[in-house]
Structure 1
Amino acid sequence: MKDTDIELKILEIAKKEFMEQGYMNASMRVIAEKSGCTTGMLYSRFVDKNKIFSILVKEGADKLLNGFKNKLDLFGSSTPKEQISSMHSFSEQGMEEIMDIIYEYFDSFKLIICYGFGSSYEHYVDNLVDMEVESSIKFMDVLREEGYIVRNIRVDLCHMLASSLLNGIFETVAHDFDKDDAIEYVNSLQDFFAAGWDRLLGLKHEKEN
């Protein structure tokens, strides 16, 4: 058997082990036995189980993280007028791209969301939340600079809302929604948060006073 075939077999066995046992309880010994190799051979190819886990999820995880960051950066680099006029439509477009990536790499995100506790991807969603919070705070500053009266919203509340949205999105993975159902669910989630943010911000231009 070629080296590439052996590694592919190991990765497939490891994926099943992670999904059955979770990252914390997954055993390198079991992975080696089921792959038909010694533990020594396994460790010579993969330094530890986190390395295996990372190989299984990295491509999809990086694609979503980088795409999310690029989308937020693009929004932040737009003119204030463009940001204000497109704040909801921009979010909707970004969500479509997120869902496409999630369902292109569904098993990778299933591993991260449901079985990744203890791995280097344990805080993956938290990283997305932090990026969303930073973008939201910058946007509120833009609104104020443009003469809008914006309620003071605490950073921890921004974090709570961003966490609710992003963790809500990944519920589609946790509960094995098919893509059509997931998109319908996420669209409703977006409608809810868009209306909530409009109400929370209480947008009113100073000239209206």
Structure 2
Amino acid sequence: MAKPDTSIDPRIMDSAKEEFRTLGFEKASLKSICQRAGVTTGALYKRYAGKEELFRAVVADTVADLDAVYEERTAVPASALSDEDLIRAWYMDEEYMLWWFRFLNERRDGFVLLLTGAEGTAYANFQHDWVGKMTEGTWTYYAEARRRGLCTVDMTREELHVVLSAFWTTIYEPFIHDFTWPEIQRHCTLVCRLFDWYAALGFPKG
């Protein structure tokens, strides 16, 4: 029995990534992807049921990495944290924010596709859905801090979602606008200055 030719798989993925990045999912053409990759449409259909399955394959690693880091960062329940750790969780540490930017920059191709090229796929609302997911995790930290009297400002879950939408937009936009890494580093400093969670939620400073 002949072994399947796996040598063309990377070519298909690279071609699809370029096509989706340039045109977005809806305008992308499987024919064009195959031509650029130097493969037949039959070879592509042996691997992917259609254009959306191919798109999902292109962004799969990025989605998995995002989900994994979310699970890691929310693994310890807020109720198990000390007061000191719970307060520190809201500090806009530039080194921590730079970790996020570096993490996303290392997955730039997939992340940008999720932000700008996913219309027409299951990830069409990625920006909103990711903020919703982060809101769920962040809310438990806020609710626990408020319950303990560590912060003084009352906020609803909906209000937190709105504020986090603004926060994550400042993270999305450098990638949408194709900032270089030095530009992202400067932007990171600005974001840390802009979002003072201690002041917004009434945490004691010092």
Mapped pair 1:184 → 2:161: no
Q: Give the count of matched residue pairs.
A: 201
Match of 1:193 in 2: 195
Query: Deviation at 1:89?
Result: 4.2
- Cα-Cα RMSD: 2.5
**Which amino acid is the alignment partner of residue 198 of structure 1?**
Y
Find the aligned partners of 1:44 and 1:118 in 2 and give their Cα distance.
23
Indicate if the aligned counterparts of 1:75 and 1:83 stay in contact, CA closer than 8 A: no
Q: Partner of 2:39: helix, strand, or coil?
A: coil
Cα distance change on mapping 1:82 and 1:147 into 2, 3 Å: same
**Which amino acid is the alignment partner of residue 81 of structure 1?**
D
| Structure 2 residue ranges without an equivalent (≥5) | none
Deviates more, 1:141-150 or 1:179-188: 141-150
Map 1:118-197 onto structure 2 (within 5 A): 118-148=120-150, 150-194=152-196, 197=197
Query: Deviation at 1:50?
Result: 1.9
Query: Deviation at 1:57?
Result: 1.9
Indicate if the aligned counterparts of 1:15 and 1:56 stay in contact, CA closer than 8 A: yes
Query: Deviation at 1:171?
Result: 1.0
Find the aligned partners of 1:41 and 1:29 in 2 and give their Cα distance.
12
TM-score normalized with structure 2 length: 0.83
| Structure 1 residue ranges without an equivalent (≥5) | 205-209
Query: Deviation at 1:159?
Result: 0.9
Q: CA offsets, 1:92-118, max 9 Å, x none?
A: 554333222212121111222121222
Cα distance change on mapping 1:27 and 1:147 into 2, 3 Å: same
Cα distance change on mapping 1:52 and 1:198 into 2, 3 Å: same
Find the aligned partners of 1:78 and 1:182 in 2 and give their Cα distance.
34
Query: Deviation at 1:143?
Result: 2.2
Identity of matched residues, %: 24
Match of 2:59 in 1: 57
Find the aligned partners of 2:85 and 2:137 in 1 and give their Cα distance.
11
Query: Deviation at 1:179?
Result: 1.7
Map 1:91-106 onto structure 2 (within 5 A): 92=94, 94-106=96-108
